[in-house]
Amino acid sequence: MGTRRMRYVVSACLAGQACRYDGGSNPCPAVIRLVEEGRAVPACPEGLAALPVPRPPCEQAGGRVFSRDGRDLSEDFLRGARLALRKALEQNCAAAILKSRSPSCGFGLIYDGTFSHRLCPGEGVWARLLREEGIELYSEESLPPELGEEKKDQQ
């Protein structure tokens, strides 16, 4: 009888899905493995909001989400974040592994809204909803401790 394994919701781009604004992905081997093992469910708030791929990059400014071409997409991002949160709750996810710096998934530091690659303190729309629901947040840059323990167990 092993320890109960945590179920994760993960940013779909980290699971290798081509859903980034530029049509690419950000594959993270640990996240891909979790999905393959059935321990994680991928979700992309922007995809769930039916935003196109590719699309102009977006950043947060003044509590709103804007595309580089100046469109306010805050309502789209919030709708997608709510749908992605629902998916996480329906799948009984206790934690999330999210794409750092994203206007949806980032937490701690996100892009500052100037489209100049500068970071500022903040959190993405989906990350905020997950945190408010009590779901633990991790990123591809700071994976959950249990993933490190699993590596030791496999050696």
At residue 18, the pLDDT reads: 97
pLDDT classification of 3: cutoffs 50, 70, 90: very low
For the stretch 72-111, pLDDT in tens is 999 999 999 999 999 999 999 999 999 999 999 999 999 9
pTM of the model: 0.91
Q: What span, in angstroms and rounded, lies between the C-alpha atoms of 106 and 109?
A: 7
Report residue 122 as tokens: 């903040």
For the stretch 17-53, pLDDT in tens is 999 999 999 999 999 999 999 999 999 999 999 999 9
Whether 49 contacts 79, CB under 8 Å: yes
How far from the centroid of its chain's Cα atoms is residue 92's Cα? 17
| Sequence-ordered list of residues with C-beta below 8 angstroms from that of 27, at least 6 positions apart, any chain | 14, 15, 16
